[in-house]
Amino acid sequence: MKTEAVARRYRNLDTWPDSEILDAFLERQLAALASVKPALASIEAAAVGAAERLRHSNGRLIYVGAGTSGRLAVLDSVELLPTFGWPAERLLYLLAGGEKALVRSAEAAEDETADAQRQIAEAKVGPSDVFIGVAASGTTPFTIAAAKAARDRGAFTVGLANNPGTPLLEAAEVGVLLDTGPEVIAGSTRMAAGTAQKVALNLFSSLLMLRLGRVYSNLMVGVQATNAKLVRRAAQIVAEISGKSLDEAGQALERADGDSRVAVLLLRGYGLDEAREILKATGGNLREVIG
């Protein structure tokens, strides 16, 4: 398994000067970034397939993993609400060892296939849902069992792994290979493999949210204005799209309860209820409303 191999390039690492160690770490991080490029077609297929399932349904995004991979999956998922306004009730993450594994190591839990199947069943995963499983090795029993169970129940399944030909890539409908190779510190996949996973997840979810209409032009119109900084950002977004002043944008946002898309339509002459209804009819896609 490539991610577990001991690279000769980094033999006797502990005897190297600090500057050379850091150079080696950075070298592998840059290589990890480069490993995402060959995976772009698979990432696109994953995002397009996910958008097809989610666009006209109440399906959920379900992120699954164990250890570092699971934590990175959760990190991507929890940022979708404030950044894109993805509804919390349409988001789920399942971790080997449960939620406590976010802050405490639970390495043995990754072997619990029965727990994975139980969590998928209890979540009532179905054909409207999208499953994203992440495992550096591609052989994590928990994540593979969850992927198989989700696919059996009709969900659209995506698997991200850092080793080719591994069970997770084969179990998922779309397999995304991030071929990062050996780590500087042998087997420490929180490093290069983790970096590639984080980038790939960012690309996947950002393209998905864009295709679901939660980005207009290159502006995150689904942003949740929950603090002063985000209120200002939302006002700037509304002003940019509408061509109105920041004051007018801010006033429209207040009327729209902080929804940038509704605020834009208010400034274009729509009534409040009318704006909400037309956005509901288009799945929240502002581009479909104003072109």
The DSSP-derived string for 139-187 is: --HHHHHHHHHHHHTT-EEEEEESSTT-HHHHHSSEEEE----S-SSTT
pLDDT in tens, 25-61: 999 999 999 999 999 999 999 999 999 999 888 999 9
Which of 177, 211, 245 terminates a domain? The answer is 211
Alpha-carbon gap, residue 68 to 70, rounded angstroms: 5
Catalytic-residue membership of 288: no
Say how many domains are in the chain: 2
- Predicted pLDDT of residue 106: 64
pLDDT for residue 165 = 96
Query: Is residue 110 among the annotated active site residues?
Result: yes
DSSP, res 259: -
- Per-residue pLDDT, 40: 98
Cα separation of 75 and 73, whole Å?
A: 5
Q: How far is CA 282 from the centre of its chain?
A: 23
Residue 278 identity: I
Task: Examine residue 13 and state whether it is found in any structural domain, yes or no.
Answer: yes
Helix 141-152 / helix 113-122 crossing angle, nearest 10 deg: 40
Residue 54 tokens, joined? 């989610």
pLDDT for the residue numbered 104: 74
pLDDT in tens, 57-100: 899 999 999 999 999 999 999 999 989 989 999 999 999 988 87
**Out of 4, 44, 79, 240, which one is annotated catalytic?**
79
Measured CA to CA, the distance from residue 149 to residue 159 in angstroms comes to: 13
Q: Which residues of the chain have pLDDT under 70?
A: 106-107
Distance CA 270, CA 262 (A): 9
What CATH number should be reported for the domain holding residue 277?
A: 1.10.8.1080
Which element (helix H / strand E) includes 275? helix 272-281
Same domain as 280, residue 178:
no
Out of 180, 211, 242, a domain closes at: 211
Q: Which domain holds residue 236?
A: 228-290
Amino acid making up residue 49: G
Q: Minimal CA–CA distance to 272: which of 289, 254, 248? A: 254
Q: Residue 16 domain-assigned? A: yes
Query: Token digits for 66?
Result: 């164990």
Residue 43 CB coordination number (10 Å):
23
pLDDT at site 98 = 82
- 127 lies in a domain? yes
Question: Is residue 19 a contact partner of residue 152, using CB atoms and an 8 Å limit?
Answer: no
Q: Is there a domain that residue 222 lies in?
A: no
Q: What is the reported pLDDT for 23?
A: 96
